[in-house]
């Protein structure tokens, strides 16, 4: 150990001596360089301030005024936005509180369910792992011994490799490495001297010429053109663009936005209603499908029990629910297509009506000037495709969906002229004809009428007709048809 310690102290002393010399040289050079740089920079700043002090003061006054006005505008903008936002919060607070409550309730349910699943899974997994470790303890111990032996072999190999590499590096450095490194350092120094000569003799003259060309181009070409472009754009904005925007484009766009915002709201409400109906139909269909699955399971159970009567009832319920679910899905799909067509048609009609009413208003103004009435407007609402699931009276050519009444397969709908109902009813009794006429008159006076369509309930009409037939039978005798 004594030779190693002596060599280490001697090496540290040599390194410390060389290091102190390097630090002194670097510190002295940096100090002189910093002093010269500070003197040069301060002289340039002093000349600049002496030459442009009045312009700088004017710039400061102008810029500070603009910034002050901008900050005042920001204050006004922020105040208005916060007031508007607070008013909106006050209006929407009940709905927002309810929405937050519903969201947190959903999170709580989801978190509890996930927690139960994770904790239960953790308990099962840890139990299985503990039993596995107990059953295989001897084999696990042997594998641990093998792994440690592998690690020991790797560490021994790494130590041997680094020991050999270190010995080879030391031998190379003592034989040829020092001479090669010294030659490389001299070559780097020679390259540095060559670069300094090239920079001073070639690069700087080229740089001075290039900066002179750029200065001339800026003063004699680019700056005058840039100034002229600014003057032209300012004149174009003040005399053409700004008056066109304030007097023509802005009023027209404001009116268009105000007009179509209401139409867009109605279209979105219709879409919401349509998709709500579709999702409800899908939910009912899925519930019926799983009810059918439950009935099939009951059927299999009852077959194995030998209860054939109950098994037969289960299979009838199962297939009845399945077919009913398919019918609901089909009906929902047809109604969705009709609602989508109506929604798109409403949007198209709204646009066409807006354009037509605009032209009608222009013609009305021209006609008033000439003493004529040339104005016109389109109806506020278009004609939609109706659903006649409960029947109706149609008094004009009308596009409609028929046969979508629930149970139409065993209770078909009638689509025929009113005069044909006599033969369909199977009686020419004036009492029945009078009752039908009275029902139609009441519906025309009391029910909602849209586009010459009167909505009826076929089941109510059928019950009324049965009552009339039974009354006629009791009065005159005979079979009820």
Question: What is the C-alpha to C-alpha distance for residues 214 and 316, in angstroms, rounded to an integer?
Answer: 95
Arithmetic mean of pLDDT over the chain: 75
Q: Which of 28-42, 319-333, 433-447, 467-481 has the lowest mean pLDDT?
A: 319-333
Distance from CA of residue 461 to its chain's centroid? 51
DSSP code, position 454: E
Whether residue 19 is contained in a domain is answered as yes
Asked whether 455 and 440 are in contact (CB, 8 A), the reply is: no
- For residue 190, the number of C-alpha atoms closer than 13 Å in the C-beta half-sphere is 6
Residue identified by tokens 């029947």 is 391
Q: Given this model, what pLDDT does residue 452 score?
A: 43
Residue identified by tokens 């005042």 is 72
**Position with higher pLDDT, 425 vs 36:** 36
Q: Which of 135, 168, 197 is the last residue of a domain?
A: 135
Beta-strand relationship, 449-450 and 392-394: unpaired
Burial class (CB in 10 A: 0-12, 13-18, 19+), 331: buried
> What residues form DSSP beta bridges with 454?
393, 449
Asked whether 411 and 464 are in contact (CB, 8 A), the reply is: no
Q: Is the pLDDT of residue 453 over 60?
A: no
What is the percent of the chain where pLDDT is above 70? 59
3-state DSSP call for residue 450? Answer: strand
Considering its fold, how many domains does the chain have in total?
2
Helical packing angle, 2-135 and 137-172, nearest 10°: 160
**Position with higher pLDDT, 418 vs 31:** 31
Q: Given this model, what pLDDT does residue 104 score?
A: 94
Q: Which of 110, 135, 160 is the last residue of a domain?
A: 135
Whether residue 161 is contained in a domain is answered as no
Question: What is the C-alpha to C-alpha distance for residues 127 and 131, in angstroms, rounded to an integer?
Answer: 6
Asked whether 407 and 454 are in contact (CB, 8 A), the reply is: no
Question: What is the C-alpha to C-alpha distance for residues 392 and 439, in angstroms, rounded to an integer?
Answer: 12
DSSP code, position 387: B
**Token output for 320:** 């009845």
Q: Given this model, what pLDDT does residue 38 score?
A: 81
Q: Which of 173-187, 200-214, 219-233, 376-390 has the lowest mean pLDDT?
A: 376-390
Whether residue 217 is contained in a domain is answered as no
In total, the chain counts a number of residues equal to 481
Whether residue 275 is contained in a domain is answered as no
Question: What is the C-alpha to C-alpha distance for residues 424 and 414, in angstroms, rounded to an integer?
Answer: 9
Asked whether 289 and 281 are in contact (CB, 8 A), the reply is: no
pLDDT in tens, 55-84: 888 888 888 888 988 898 898 899 899 988
Say which residues have a Cβ less than 8 Å from residue 288's Cβ, sequence separation at least 6: 321, 322, 324, 325, 328
Residue 36 pLDDT class (50, 70, 90 cuts): confident
Q: Is the pLDDT of residue 311 over 50?
A: yes
Q: Which of 135, 160, 179 is the last residue of a domain?
A: 135
Whether residue 326 is contained in a domain is answered as no
pLDDT in tens, 112-134: 999 999 999 999 999 999 999 99
How many other CB atoms are found less than 10 A from the CB of residue 196?
10
> What residues form DSSP beta bridges with 387?
401
Q: Which of 156-160, 258-262, 464-468 has the lowest mean pLDDT?
A: 258-262
Spell out a b/e string for 10-46, using b for 16 or more CB atoms within 10 Å of the CB, else e: eeeeeeeeeeeeeeeeeeeeeeeeeeeeeeeeeeeee
> What residues form DSSP beta bridges with 401?
387
Closest-CA residue to 323 (of 198, 410, 231): 410
Residue 240 pLDDT class (50, 70, 90 cuts): confident
Compute, in degrees rounded to 10, the torsion defined by CA atoms 259, 260, 263, 267: -170
> What residues form DSSP beta bridges with 449?
454
Beta-strand relationship, 449-450 and 453-455: antiparallel
Find the angle CA(336)-CA(340)-CA(341) to the nearest 5 degrees: 120
Asked whether 270 and 346 are in contact (CB, 8 A), the reply is: yes
Whether residue 271 is contained in a domain is answered as no
Q: What is the CA radius of gyration of the chain?
A: 48
Q: Is the pLDDT of residue 451 over 70?
A: no
Residue identified by tokens 């009709």 is 338
Q: Given this model, what pLDDT does residue 448 score?
A: 41
Q: Is the pLDDT of residue 324 over 60?
A: no
* Strand locations in 168-214 (E): none
Whether residue 298 is contained in a domain is answered as no
Residue 391: give the domain boundaries: 387-481
What is the percent of the chain where pLDDT is above 90? 19
Compute, in degrees rounded to 10, the torsion defined by CA atoms 92, 94, 100, 106: -130
Question: What is the C-alpha to C-alpha distance for residues 270 and 278, in angstroms, rounded to an integer?
Answer: 12
Burial class (CB in 10 A: 0-12, 13-18, 19+), 394: middle
Whole-model pTM: value is 0.36
> What phi, psi does 428 have (nearest 5°)?
-110, 20
**Token output for 317:** 């319920």
Asked whether 383 and 451 are in contact (CB, 8 A), the reply is: yes
Closest-CA residue to 392 (of 408, 411, 414, 412): 414
Question: What is the C-alpha to C-alpha distance for residues 271 and 263, in angstroms, rounded to an integer?
Answer: 13
Say which residues have a Cβ less than 8 Å from residue 291's Cβ, sequence separation at least 6: 317, 321
Residue 22 pLDDT class (50, 70, 90 cuts): low
Whether residue 213 is contained in a domain is answered as no
Residue identified by tokens 């303890």 is 137
Question: What is the C-alpha to C-alpha distance for residues 263 and 349, in angstroms, rounded to an integer?
Answer: 10
Q: Which of 31-40, 120-129, 325-334 has the lowest mean pLDDT?
A: 325-334
């Amino acid at each position: 150990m004594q030779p190693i310690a002596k060599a280490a102290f001697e090496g540290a002393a040599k390194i410390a001596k060389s290091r102190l010399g390097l630090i002194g040289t670097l510190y002295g050079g940096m100090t002189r360089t910093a002093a010269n740089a500070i003197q040069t920079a301060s002289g340039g700043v002093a000349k600049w301030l002496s030459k442009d002090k009045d312009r700088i003061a004017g710039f400061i006054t102008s810029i500070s005024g603009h910034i002050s006005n901008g900050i005042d505008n920001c204050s006004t903008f922020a105040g208005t936005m916060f007031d508007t936002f607070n008013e909106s919060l006050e209006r929407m607070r009940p709905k927002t509180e309810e929405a937050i409550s519903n969201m947190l309730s959903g999170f709580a349910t989801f978190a509890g369910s996930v927690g139960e699943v994770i904790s239960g899974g953790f308990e099962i997994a840890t139990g299985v792992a503990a039993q596995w470790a107990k059953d295989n303890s001897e084999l696990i111990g042997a594998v641990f011994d093998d792994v440690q032996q592998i690690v020991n072999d790797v560490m021994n190999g790494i130590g041997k490799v680094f020991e050999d590499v270190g010995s080879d590096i030391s031998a190379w450095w003592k034989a040829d490495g020092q001479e090669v490194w010294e030659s490389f350092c001299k070559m780097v120094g020679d390259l540095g001297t060559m670069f300094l000569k090239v920079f001073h003799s070639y690069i700087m003259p080229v740089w001075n010429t290039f900066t002179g060309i750029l200065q001339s181009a800026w003063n004699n070409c680019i700056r005058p053109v840039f100034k002229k472009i600014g003057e032209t754009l300012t004149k174009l904005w003040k005399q053409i663009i700004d008056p066109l925007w304030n007097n023509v484009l802005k009023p027209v766009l404001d009116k268009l936005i105000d007009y179509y915002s209401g139409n867009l709201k109605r279209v979105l409400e219709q879409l919401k209603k349509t998709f709500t109906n579709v999702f409800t139909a899908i939910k009912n269909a899925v519930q019926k499908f799983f009810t059918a699955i439950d009935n099939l399971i009951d059927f299999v159970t009852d077959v194995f029990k030998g209860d054939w009567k109950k098994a037969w009832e289960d299979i009838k319920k199962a297939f009845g629910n399945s077919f009913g679910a398919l019918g609901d899905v089909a009906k929902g799909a047809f109604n969705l297509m009709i609602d989508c067509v109506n929604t798109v048609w409403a949007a198209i009609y709204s646009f066409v009506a807006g354009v037509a009413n605009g032209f009608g208003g222009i013609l009305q103004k021209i006609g008033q000037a000439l003493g004529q009435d040339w104005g016109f407007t389109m109806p506020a609402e278009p004609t939609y495709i109706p659903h006649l699931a409960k029947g109706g009276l149609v008094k004009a050519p009308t596009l409609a969906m028929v046969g979508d009444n629930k149970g139409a397969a065993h209770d078909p709908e009638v689509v025929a002229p009113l005069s044909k109902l006599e033969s369909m009813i199977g009686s020419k009794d004036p009492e029945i004809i009078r009752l039908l006429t009275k029902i139609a008159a009441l519906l025309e006076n009391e029910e909602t009428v849209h586009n010459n369509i009167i909505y009826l309930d076929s089941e109510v009409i059928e019950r009324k007709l049965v009552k009339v037939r039974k009354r006629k039978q009791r009065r005159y005798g005979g079979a009820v048809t």
